Chains A and B, each alone.
Chain A
C-alpha cells in the first residue's frame, strides 16, 4: 500500500491551505473531503475580512480556493473517513470505500455540532457502541436498539439482526426502507437519554422507554475523539498547542475543529502551521529511522 507523507482530512480553508503548504514542501498528500470545498464556505453570503479577497461571496471564495489547489496539482479524494488509527510509526485511515496509510495526519474536519446523549459517553463500550458490524457476534440471542441517522444504516441493522434475537430500529431520518423480520422499526421517536444497569440498557425517548442488551448509535458525524481513538479533547474541540500538535505524535489539527474564532483566515493560517509542523515531524521520523 502507498504510504502518503501527509493525509489531510477536510477540504475547507484549513485543509486546503495545509495541502498547498505540504505540496510547496514537496510532500505527498492525500486530501480527503469534498470536491466542492466546504459548505460552510460556499454557502456564506459575504466575507469581508479575508486578506486579498475583499467582499467576496462564499461561492467565489470557494472557487478561488479550489482553483489555487487545482493549479498546484492537488487532487481531492471524495471518501468518508470512519477512523484514524495511530499505529506507532504511521497512521491507518479507514474510509468508507477503502483504507489508506500515511506517516502523518492533519485533521481539518470542521466543527461538529453533534452532542452526545446524556449517559452516552458514560456507557460507551459498556452497552453503548458506534459499530454494529464490530459487535454483532456478541449479540447472539440478545436484543439491541439502533438509533440510525441515514438509510445506509439499514444494512448494519440487517447484519446485526442476523445474529441478534431482536433489533429495535429507530430512524432519525426520513425512513423509506423495508426492514422486517426481527427488526422492529419505529419512526418519529426522539431519544432523550441512556442508562445502563445490571446488564440492561435503557433508552428514554419522548415516547416510550426502550430496553435491550445494548444500544448502537450510528451517527453520520463522528466526534473527533471517536474518529481518532485516543485523541485528547479540550471541551468540544481537539486540544492543540501553538504548532497545532495534538497529544498523538504525528497527528495535527487545524481550523474550526480546534476552537473559536470560527474565521476562514484563522483556519487557513492554522492549516499552514499544521502542514509545516507535519513536515518537521516527517524530518524527525526520517532521521530516527536512518
Chain B
C-alpha cells in the first residue's frame, strides 16, 4: 500500500528500514501513470519497505529538502537517509528492480 502523507506527518513516521517516497502532483501526467504501478510494486514489497506518496504542491518544504526539481521522483530512504532517487516514469519491472537493489 502507498500511504498519502503530508510534510508534518512525514516528521512523525517511523523511518527505520527502507522507505520509498513518491513525489508527485495532481496535474502531472506521468505521476498519475506511475501511481498505480507503484501501488502494485508496494504490494510485492509488503513488509520489506514502506511506501509514501507526497504531493509536491501541498508539501513544498519536503520537496525542497530532498532536492526535487522534476517529478515524478521516487526517493529511497534507508533509516531516514536518502540513498537513491529515480526521476520520471518507469515500468513495473524496472521500478521493482530499483526498489529491490536498495533493500
Contacts and interface: CB of A to CB of B under 8 A. Distances in A.
Interface string A60-72: 0000000000000
Chain B interface size band reads: 20 to 34
A195 B49 CA distance: 35
Contacts of B87: 124-126
A243 interface: no
Nearest to A139: B69
Contacts of A92: 33
Given A126-B69, A135-B70, A85 B89 contact: yes
Given A138-B56, A138-B68, A229-B90, A88 B31 contact: no
Given A229-B90, A230-B90, A85 B70 contact: no
Contacts of A249: 93
Contacts of B60: 137-138, 140
B69 A229 contact: no
Contacts of A124: 87-88
Nearest to A94: B29
A131 B71 CA distance: 9
Interface string B67-103: 1111101000000000000011111111000000000
A138 B71 contact: yes
A213 interface: yes
Contacts of A125: 69-70, 73, 87-88
Given A134-B28, A138-B56, A230-B94, A127 B89 contact: no
Contacts of A86: 91-92
A249 B91 CA distance: 10
Interface string A71-115: 000000000001101111000101000000000000000000000
A138 B56 CA distance: 7
B36 A87 contact: yes
B61 to A, nearest CB: 11
Contacts of B67: 199
A271 interface: no
A34 interface: no
Interface string A8-25: 000000000000000000
A248 interface: yes
Contacts of B94: 230
B33 A138 contact: no
Interface string B16-33: 000000000101111101
B88 A229 contact: yes
A230 B70 contact: no
A193 interface: no
Interface in B34-78: 36-37, 40, 56-57, 60, 63, 67-71, 73
Contact of A134 (B36, B70, B91): B70
Contact of B40 (A88, A94, A137): A88
A221 interface: no
Given A83-B89, A137-B25, A214-B70, 6 more contacts: A126-B69, A134-B29, A134-B70, A229-B30, A230-B90, A230-B94
Interface of A: 82-83, 85-88, 92, 94, 124-127, 129, 131, 133-135, 137-138, 140, 199, 213-214, 229-230, 248-249
